[in-house]
A = this chain, B = another copy of it.
Amino acid sequence: MARPAASERPGHPRRTGGRIRSQDAHDDVLRAAVEILEEVGYGGVTIEGVAARSGVAKSTIYRWWTSKAALVMDAYGKIVAGRMPRPDTGTVADDLTDFVAELYRVADYPLRGKALRGLMAEAQLDPAFEESFRSWVQSRRDVVAGLLIRGIDRGELDADLDLDHAVDLVFGPFWYRLLVGHVALDAAQARGHVDRLLQGLRHPPEQ
């Protein structure tokens, strides 16, 4: 009765029995991963450490995540999912302001910034992780692209706006400062960033 089908998707071999996956173990792993991540940064996360803290066997972790990177991405993605704003205020200016403000808020949570930087780093070092990281990045780009499109639809922005480039202008400077650290990130920078952004979007290069 009431088989909720767990995580059953078509194409998967139809289960005929067997112990079902432990949700507790799953959650414990993610929780431990995030804890360690925010404590000692990405470099400090080890599968052994996660296993030890969560009380879940290493083999169980490897059964469900292909790599440390996949695990951290999963953990971080789920935990911070709620943090990604999807503003829809009615004007592009306010939408961008909300979004970018949230972006710069990592400055107030150093460990969150550390985690982000670690994920970006791992994406450079581990080709297997690159893809899943990129898809996470893309999901955030899509949110921004969406609000820009709404702006175009409302006539606030030019119809021939180069979306990809515009989105680059949202994330590029943020990431650059976050990673290089030549200037400390500061939530107050968000305002300047948005201003320049809107300025650029409204006065596109003539050529």
Contact = CB atoms under 8 A, between A and B. Distances in A.
A126 B43 contact: yes
A138 B43 contact: no
A125 B168 contact: no
- Place the interface of chain A in its size category: 35 or more
Contacts of A172: 172-173, 175-177
A118 B165 CA distance: 24
Interface string A102-124: 00000000000000011011111
A164 interface: yes
Contacts of A165: 196
A182 interface: yes
A5 interface: no
A182 B43 contact: no
Given A199-B206, A205-B195, A205-B196, A125 B180 contact: no
Interface in A29-57: 41-43
Contacts of A196: 165, 200, 205
Contacts of A43: 124-126
Given A171-B176, A195-B207, A205-B196, A124 B120 contact: yes
Interface of A: 41-43, 117-118, 120-126, 130, 134, 137-138, 141, 164-165, 168-169, 171-173, 175-177, 179-183, 195-196, 199-200, 203-207
23 contacts: A42-B124, A42-B125, A43-B124, A118-B124, A120-B179, A121-B122, A124-B179, A134-B180, A134-B182, A137-B182, A138-B182, A164-B182, A164-B183, A168-B173, A169-B173, A172-B172, A172-B176, A172-B177, A175-B175, A175-B179, A195-B205, A199-B206, A203-B203
Given A171-B180, A172-B177, A175-B175, 9 more contacts: A118-B124, A121-B122, A121-B124, A123-B179, A123-B180, A134-B181, A164-B182, A164-B183, A196-B200
